[in-house]
Structure 1
Amino acid sequence: MPGELYWLLDDFVTSVADVSHALILSNDGLMVASSRGLSKEDADHLSAVASGFQSLAKGTSLQFGGGAVRQTMVEMDSAFLFVTSAGQGSCLTVMTTGAADVGLIAYEMARLVTRVGQHLATEPRVTGQ
């Protein structure tokens, strides 16, 4: 499935207006697959950032009884960052331009996860072996 993930992410970037980059990461911040046009260094950095934001959102929800975190969004002057759960142990992260329709982006991300989420699962890393 890894090769197909790259194709799915590239298709998402080209078919959804104002999307610049998309990637799949494990919940512990490791990049699994990314769209074209994103260097390995930038993909790794974005994965770590997305994992951090998702972790902060989950901690906040736990502290204040918000329930499951469905999506995290960061609005910048000229871009948006979206992070959503995508299968067991994985997240889908999308960067857009500042002109993006946030409702459409959230909808399209949810559609993608619904269609292929079972294939996006990431096994937890085993340490000490």
Structure 2
Amino acid sequence: MTHNGALDWMLSEALAVPETLHAILLTRDGLLRAHSQGIARDEADRQAAALCGVISISRSTTGFCSHRGDGAEPTWRQTLIEFDDAFVLLIAAGDGSYLAVSATDRVDLEACGFRMQQLVERLGSAMASPARQDAGNPA
């Protein structure tokens, strides 16, 4: 399942918080599922691939936060990247999908994260990207 434009409209809701810039929905494989109007398709594709790597690295550090004593590692929920004058927020958005929003340094991070969570809760099943299945046919 890749980008076909059908889900682009839903990302405008994630940008309702002042100072947000762009939003993309990506799969666990780094494929673009949807992007907001303000970002070009090629740039959104590039960011989906890059952010997939960021999420993978973030998820692999859960052992660093392990504190329960039972050996269980915590579940990854979100990653925040901070720049001099901007942020990128990444959250899980349904089975095998992630939602990323960029914003200026003037954004209300709490409001932005809350809006993203609301969007995921409301549209989670549409955002899901189940793992690709091998059809058993040779390529």
Structure 2 length-normalised TM = 0.83
1:91 aligns with 2:98: yes
Number of aligned residue pairs:
127
What is the percent sequence identity of the aligned residues? Answer: 33
Q: Whole-Å Cα distance in 2 between the matches of residues 12 and 57 of structure 1? A: 22
Letter in 1 for 2:128: A
Provide the residue aligned with 1:38 in structure 2: 39
Q: Whole-Å Cα distance in 1 between the matches of residues 121 and 14 of structure 2? A: 14
Are residues 74 and 99 of structure 1, via their aligned partners in 2, closer, same or farther at CA, if it must alter by over 3 Å? same
Say what the alpha-carbon RMSD is for the aligned residues.
Answer: 1.8
Give the gaps of 5 or more residues in structure 1. Answer: none
Provide the residue aligned with 1:70 in structure 2: 77
Provide the residue aligned with 2:21 in structure 1: 20
- Runs of 4 or more, structure 1, over 4 Å off, are 126-129
Give the gaps of 5 or more residues in structure 2. Answer: 67-72
Structure 1 length-normalised TM = 0.89
Letter in 2 for 1:109: M
1:4 is displaced (CA, Å) by: 5.0
Going by fraction, where is helix more abundant, 1 or 2?
Answer: 1
